[in-house]
Amino acid sequence: MSDLLETVRGLSKKTDSKILMVVLDGVGGLPMGVNGETELATAKTPNLDALAAGSQLGLVELVGAGITPGSGPGHLSLFGYDPLKFVVGRGALSAVGIGVKLNAGDVAVRGNFATLGEGRVVQDRRAGRPSDEKNAEIVAKLRAAIPEIDGTPVEIYTESEHRFVVVFRAAGGEVLGAQISDVDPQATGVVPMTAAAHDAASEKTAGLVNAFVTRAEQALAGETQVNGVLFRGYSDVPHFPSFADVYQLRSACIASYPMYKGLASLVGMDVLPVEGHEDALDGKVAALKENWDAYDFFYFHVKKTDSTGEDGDFAAKVKKIELFDALLPELLALNPDVLAIVGDHSTPSKLASHSWHPVPLLIRSEYGRKDAAQRYTEEEAGRGSLGLRRGTDLMPLLMANALKLNKYGA
């Protein structure tokens, strides 16, 4: 356990106050478009504006200056776990999120279905974001074609859209290493990379990954769009200090995407069932209302602000921000003692990818100081009283504003 977590654990106390952390995935942006503003600054957000005028704002670096965080490290940082110390691959997060139990020695891998052109050149890393139904169809085809590789059982699962999960099951007491380079080049116009082991324990796993890629392309040769697979995020069974033990909180996760549910589950949050489609958000609001009395900490995840940024669709990202703004009054009506709105990383439409830029943070509580910021935007957050913070600062700040931390020292 890190020194900060250990200190916070020693100071944490139970109270009746409630904390709501809203994570607008990938919300940070860059100036773009006819007005030369970010997506947040372009969006019409009267509710966020009114909230910001009475809140504290600042900027957050999730990992460190210049370092672009993945979603896993970004969330771990927000939850108070130093992402440089607590490292977990996307594969384990996705596997746990869809209910797959990992055993000692297994390796889980996060995969993207992709579109490959002539010469295996990557044309689309997300295969046009196929429907979940098409995903399940492709997974069934791969299961039939690749039940095992050289005696190692292989399990393949649908995650969502273009995402899927592969679990290589350790057999006969062996331990499969997870220190392997990516197959996903995270770019188009190039060929997929060959997985390479970073240590001797991972040599066999790298061979399994490369064999899977070859056999998958053979099995999908008749497909026009979903005809390749890209891998990154290898992981074995991770272990984290308990969120409940560190913060003395009854905590709940409200999310739809498996990876985020998996991460919340790994740190010990209860993952609440959510009805309906991610894009509508109605099911998430309903889950929050239905369970409001049962918990004192809620993690509420909004995904599409990230997906639209990854697609490079500035206008669509603006629209997703505006949709969140429209439902904000329902969250405020619950009257949380502390409300935080933050991102787990920036995903500027201008880059169509995650970026290193700090994300805006808003904290509303009864105990906030006056703040110069008047809107929830990157520029205004830079004027806020919270300044530039590390992601791991967020949970102690929320706990303090909820009066859930005792004094440190005499």
- The C-alpha angle 59, 387, 396, rounded to 5 degrees, equals 80
Could you give the count of Cα atoms lying within 13 Å of 320 in the half-sphere of its Cβ? 23
Residue 313 burial (10 A CB sphere; 0-12, 13-18, 19+): middle
CA distance 144 to 397: 50
Would you state the pLDDT for residue 278? 64
Would you state the pLDDT for residue 40? 97
**Are 127 and 164 spatial neighbours (Cβ–Cβ below 8 Å)?**
no
Provide the CA 198 distance to its chain's centre, in angstroms.
25
What are 268's two structure tokens? 């010990």
What are 143's two structure tokens? 């299961």
Strand, helix or coil for residue 369: coil
CATH architecture of 12-87+240-401: 3-Layer(aba) Sandwich (3.40)
Q: What b-and-e string marks burial along 10-49, b requiring 16 or more CB atoms within 10 Å of the CB?
A: ebbeeeebbbbbbbbbbbbbbebeeeebbbbbbbebebbe
Would you state the pLDDT for residue 99? 83
Q: DSSP characters for 181-205?
A: --S--SSSSSPPPPP-BSSGGGHHH
CA distance 294 to 203: 47
Would you state the pLDDT for residue 290? 97
Neighbours of 264 (CB within 10 A): 26
Domain boundaries, the chain: 12-87+240-401, 94-235
Indicate the pairing of strand 228-235 with strand 359-365. Answer: unpaired
Provide the CA 150 distance to its chain's centre, in angstroms.
33
CATH architecture of 94-235: 2-Layer Sandwich (3.30)
State whether the Cα torsion 407-251-307-41 is positive or negative.
Answer: negative
Would you state the pLDDT for residue 80? 96
Taking only the tens of pLDDT, the chain with its 410 residues reads 678 899 999 999 999 999 999 999 999 999 997 789 999 999 999 999 999 999 999 999 999 999 999 988 999 999 999 999 988 777 888 888 788 888 888 999 999 999 999 999 999 999 999 998 999 999 999 999 999 999 999 999 998 889 999 999 988 778 899 999 999 999 999 999 999 999 999 999 999 999 999 999 999 999 999 999 999 889 887 788 999 999 999 999 999 888 898 889 889 999 999 987 766 688 999 999 999 999 999 999 999 999 999 999 999 999 999 999 999 999 999 999 999 999 999 999 999 999 999 999 999 999 998 899 999 999 999 999 999 999 999 999 999 999 999 999 97
Phi-psi group of 36: left, alpha or beta (phi > 0 → left; psi -120 to 50 → alpha; rest → beta): left
Angle between helices 394-401 and 71-78 (to 10 degrees): 30
CA distance 305 to 48: 15
CB proximity list for 72: less than 8 A, separation 6 or greater: 83, 88, 89, 90, 93, 233, 259, 263
Helix, strand, coil content of the chain in percent (nearest 5) = 35, 20, 45
Q: 12-87+240-401 and 94-235 share one CATH topology? A: no
What pTM did the predictor assign? 0.78
**Are 23 and 344 spatial neighbours (Cβ–Cβ below 8 Å)?**
yes
Q: Which of 335, 334, 341 is nearest to 302 (CA)?
A: 341
What are 74's two structure tokens? 């970004």
Neighbours of 179 (CB within 10 A): 18
